[in-house]
Structure 1
Amino acid sequence: MKKTAVVTGAASGIGRRSVERLLNAGWTVWALDLSHEKLAAFETPDCTGRYYYRACDVSSASEIKEVFEAVSRENQSIDALICSAGVTLVGSLMDFPEEATDKLIDVNLKGPWLTIRGAYPLLKYNSNMADPARIVIVGSVSGIRPKVGSGMYSATKAALHTLTGVLAVELAKDGITVNAVAPGTTDTPMAQQAAENAGSSGFQLSGNSPLGRIADADDIVDAIEFFLGGSAKYVNGTVLPVDGGTRAAYSRG
């Protein structure tokens, strides 16, 4: 049976790799991101008729509405939503700009909430308790173990984890599960940019995990694919750290 997914933050990092792997597995994918040009670059003859893309600001209710109206014209239902869009802005809380705070909240918290509400009618259309529709949210270990220099980012991810649990309960009756992956330091353009912008904030990437390296995007997408698969049909409301044991190592002091 062919399946359809919507992926936000699809132009780079974890979102991009999610799109690539879903297409390789035979899914139809709707890719959303701010950059139309980057999304268009993914289009290949191999995915003709299975790859759709739209430029979209996930923090805009009107743009989300327009996107899911477009999705509904092609698909009566969708099987999965991956909320990967996010921004990392670092800095001391005492010096953190108000406009940066607004952006973090808009993209990291409001964005997934709006996207899930937009996708909800399509997710529940063919869902059932035996094989629920799936929502997977990309959170962060920073939302579990806050870090100096990324306090506001950590706060938005902690709130997103809370949102995951509440939505898991609210949507269970519709045959929809909601789970989150919480990556540690991952080799993505966003992580690299955060490190470059650290300045004197005290922020630094966690570095190699106890497994001797940082994550790559595939490590995180492996966990996302678990939540999408048959083995996770009874997993709901979970926030799964995917950090090679970094959080556990720090918790020991």
Structure 2
Amino acid sequence: MTKPVAVVTGGGSGLGLATVRRLVHDGWDVAVLELDDAASARAQEEIPGLIAVHCDVRDAASVDEAFVRIARSHPRIDALICAAGVLRVGALAEMEVEEFDLVFDVNVRGSWLAVKAAVPMLRDAQGGSGGSIVLLASIAALRHRINSGAYAASKSAVATLCRVLAAELAPSGIRINAIAPGTVDTPMTHGHFAPVSDGGYRANAPAPLGRYTSQEDVAGAVAFLLGPDAGFISGAVIPVDGATSAALR
């Protein structure tokens, strides 16, 4: 039986790597698009058979070439997971233009470019019935925080991409959803758990369920959205946050 094939952007570390681990465990073949070659090498050492392709998701030519390389061994893919992302904190009025642009270029433009490149291959998934896409948003898209305005705005844009693409891609049978994690302890978030104001306000805190979101929580939600039980779910932005967004409404 042919294994299903998934492409994971940013799959060399953090939520991307956690998702790769889960999918490989579930019997998928996985190709990772990763800018950090050292992270790719570590992932390949851990996971034999993992395909790793150097890719800058901000660059259209780099993304297109990455999918051309994947197509040489896998002309059809069944899933795309857009996990590449960056976080920059600071007051919006004081943020450097280069940092603001980086957040949007990776989080929004990168997701859009990957979807554009993947759609032709996803249309052939599962005998022509269409594949599945999962974008990584954030509860910051649902409940904004001070000092993370650029990140929150980028993840709000990711949620909008998800909803619009779900309607536009529906005729081809391709489903697209987004996961909105709460605060996850990953390399991207290290250093951002401390108070960020003189009054002791914490931008991040454990969820009402008593802990931070784990990488495995997010990977499990991605696996569900790619599976048959989610076959009629598309255009959803699903919080995986231990009731954080519900408590803050």
| Residues 137-186 of structure 1: per-residue CA shift (max 9 Å, x gap) | 00000011010000111011001100100000111111100000000111
Assess, with a 3 A threshold, how the Cα gap between structure 1 residues 178 and 227 changes in structure 2: closer, same or farther. Answer: same
Question: Which blocks of at least 5 consecutive residues in structure 1 are unaligned?
Answer: none
Deviation, 1:221, is 0.9
CA distance in 2, matches of 1:40, 1:70: 17
For residues 94-133 of structure 1, what are the structure 2 equivalents within 5 Å? Answer: 94-127=93-126, 132-133=130-131
Structure 1 match to 2:18? 17
Q: Which of residues 188, 191, 200 is equivalent to 2:189?
A: 191
Assess, with a 3 A threshold, how the Cα gap between structure 1 residues 94 and 203 changes in structure 2: closer, same or farther. Answer: farther
Q: Which of residues 128, 139, 142 is equivalent to 1:141?
A: 139
Indicate if the aligned counterparts of 1:148 and 1:203 stay in contact, CA closer than 8 A.
no
Deviation, 1:94, is 1.2
Amino acid in structure 2 at the alignment position of 1:245: A
Deviation, 1:45, is 8.6
Q: Which of residues 168, 173, 176 is equivalent to 1:175?
A: 173
Structure 2 match to 1:37? 38
Structure 2 match to 1:28? 29
Indicate if the aligned counterparts of 2:194 and 2:202 stay in contact, CA closer than 8 A.
no
SS in 2 for 1:26: coil
For residues 26-105 of structure 1, what are the structure 2 equivalents within 5 Å? Answer: 26-44=27-45, 47-48=48-49, 51-105=50-104
SS in 2 for 1:85: coil
Assess, with a 3 A threshold, how the Cα gap between structure 1 residues 109 and 45 changes in structure 2: closer, same or farther. Answer: closer
SS in 2 for 1:94: helix
Amino acid in structure 1 at the alignment position of 2:95: F
Indicate if the aligned counterparts of 1:140 and 1:181 stay in contact, CA closer than 8 A.
yes
Structure 1 match to 2:152? 154
TM-score (norm 1): 0.92
Deviation, 1:12, is 1.2
CA distance in 1, matches of 2:137, 2:7: 17
Indicate if the aligned counterparts of 1:93 and 1:149 stay in contact, CA closer than 8 A.
yes
Amino acid in structure 1 at the alignment position of 2:185: D
Indicate if the aligned counterparts of 1:90 and 1:198 stay in contact, CA closer than 8 A.
no
Structure 2 match to 1:229? 227
CA distance in 2, matches of 1:217, 1:26: 19
Aligned residues: 248
Amino acid in structure 2 at the alignment position of 1:248: A
Deviation, 1:204, is 3.7
Amino acid in structure 2 at the alignment position of 1:151: G
CA distance in 1, matches of 2:201, 2:225: 31
Indicate if the aligned counterparts of 1:133 and 1:175 stay in contact, CA closer than 8 A.
yes
Deviation, 1:68, is 0.5
SS in 1 for 2:62: helix
Assess, with a 3 A threshold, how the Cα gap between structure 1 residues 45 and 186 changes in structure 2: closer, same or farther. Answer: closer
Deviation, 1:127, is 4.6
SS in 2 for 1:43: helix
CA distance in 1, matches of 2:182, 2:47: 33
CA RMSD of aligned residues (A): 2.1
Question: Which blocks of at least 5 consecutive residues in structure 2 are unaligned?
Answer: none
Assess, with a 3 A threshold, how the Cα gap between structure 1 residues 67 and 145 changes in structure 2: closer, same or farther. Answer: same
CA distance in 1, matches of 2:203, 2:243: 15
Assess, with a 3 A threshold, how the Cα gap between structure 1 residues 46 and 219 changes in structure 2: closer, same or farther. Answer: closer
Between 118-127 and 215-224, the greater mean CA deviation after superposition:
118-127
SS in 2 for 1:21: helix
Indicate if the aligned counterparts of 2:8 and 2:33 stay in contact, CA closer than 8 A.
yes
| Residues 108-160 of structure 1: per-residue CA shift (max 9 Å, x gap) | 1000000000111111123568x641100000000110100001110110011
